[in-house]
Amino acid sequence: MRLFEMILLLCTASSIIIYFFGKTRLSIKALSGWVSLAILAVHLLTEGYRWPLLPLYFIVLLFSALSLYQYYKKPPLKKRRPVHTALISSILAAVLFISGGLMVLFPFFQLPEPTGQLSVGTQTLHLIDKSRQEIFAADRNPNRKRELMVQLWYPAEAVSGDPAPFISSGSKMIKAVAQSIGMPAFLLNHLNYIPSNSYKDAAIAKINSTYPLVILNHGFSSSRVYQTSYAENLASHGYIVASIDHTYSTAATVFPDGRTTYTDTSQDMLDTSDTYRDKLGGEWTKDILFTLDQLEKMNKGTVPSIFKGKIDLNHVGVFGHSLGGAASYDAAYDPRIKAGMDLDGSLFNYRNKHGFNKPFMFMMSDQGFNMYKRVIDKQYFSDQELKELDTTPEQYKRDVDNMKAMFKHYQHVVRQGGEVVYVQGTKHNNFMDQQLFSPLITRLLGITGSIDGERSIEIVNRYVLDFFDKHLKNAGGYLVTGPNPNYREVKFISSTFSKLNQT
């Protein structure tokens, strides 16, 4: 809740009490109504309108009009009966309560503040891979090339002015976000006013000559904006972070000319076989490696940018959520990438591959690990349970076989010194900033788990930073090597996979 929203709510509640139950003079009652009107004007001018406050706005305008009328009306209005006073005040109090409740359901939140000492700059790149045809576009135009929007976060010099907006694409992006969680767009109009902790096109910090690079990937039908807090936190600790919008697999991607693409990678655009996920994920891996190619050119100066000579290409990491985590694992086979993390993502293109010999970490949701644990313990679903899950025994058998093949990769990672953990109380969407949009509603709808949203973001940020500090900066590593009393929700389960019998 913003400052003037809170003041307006408290002032209006006081006005109701003064007006109906106070024994003050009429001029004092009128003044309380006018003060509320003045606060409303300041709120609208400085903070902007929000739909949950419409009932509150109505009460303020009603009281202001009534105060003016009573103050100047001669003779004064007749005294109300106590029953009328009680009824009217109760209705207004109920309306005020509804407005306050809506503000709680749809809060004006702040993104978690980065924990590093450095300011954060950001800029967005429009990249075109002229070597690849865009296979997801509906028009199937063979001349259409793969286009990406990539947002960079980086350590910045002293900054000034207002930070960049959390969602810079405005109404198009907010409409897509609302559709992705099944809400009308106007319910999320407050996202227009949420600031980030980053400053657009700020000068890159001079404290170090170069900075390690981390490439970040969102989940399917998600967006790079949902991982903003992770990117900002890494940048504040001295990393350059490149977050990719994987076109036609996002809630919305808005290009500089205003063109907007949405999730359009339906199976029939590729084929209807079991290799769909492999083909889709394979395109994401190509996106990652192409982005890395372009950043190499920027670092050399063949593509003009502020990052010339600033990217430490000997220390490159990759991580992501869901399909973006799986793509991070797949991209980590590239020798330029030194370490990676997968946040609750099931792998693709793993059946005929051996593992790699480099640091990697899997961080699962409680929900995801419980699904795997059932297979590990051979507690398979009954036919009735499968029917309730709207799947068939044949499909479930394929899923179990795929999980077992995936487990071999987890096993290999552990044997190479990597870790597998899960976070108690989390579900799949607890690894995104989306959980901050309406924490109460997402929890009630089962979109997120029982863990507090800010706590889950803190945990992921701490472990992501500690992992990359250890493997890209040769520092840290005190969290990712074993249980920590400050983060009891994080359960290390590497032994579950290292001892797993795959027969």
What's the pLDDT score for residue 74? 52
**pTM for the full model?**
0.87
pLDDT tens, 296-323?
A: 999 999 999 999 999 999 999 999 999 9
Range in 113-127, 154-168, 258-272 the model is least confident about: 258-272
Confidence of residue 358 (pLDDT cuts 50, 70, 90): very high
Confidence of residue 503 (pLDDT cuts 50, 70, 90): very low
pLDDT tens, 434-468?
A: 888 878 877 877 889 999 999 999 999 999 999 99
The sign of the torsion formed by the CA atoms of 221, 223, 224, 226 equals negative
What's the pLDDT score for residue 237? 98
| Interior/surface letters 405-429, b for 16+ CB within 10 angstroms, e for the rest | ebbbbbbbbbeeebbbbbbebbbbb
CA-to-CA distance for 283 and 191, rounded, in angstroms?
A: 31
Domains and CATH numbers, the chain: 3-105 (no CATH), 119-498 (3.40.50.1820)
Side-chain half-sphere CA neighbours of 76 within 13 A: 10
| Interior/surface letters 155-174, b for 16+ CB within 10 angstroms, e for the rest | bbeeeeeebbbbbebeebbb
Asked if residue 355 has pLDDT above 90, the reply is no
CA-to-CA distance for 213 and 316, rounded, in angstroms?
A: 5
Per the model's pLDDT, the better-predicted residue between 57 and 104 turns out to be: 57
- Alpha helices, H only, 185-227: none
Q: What is the mean pLDDT of the chain?
A: 88
What's the pLDDT score for residue 27? 65
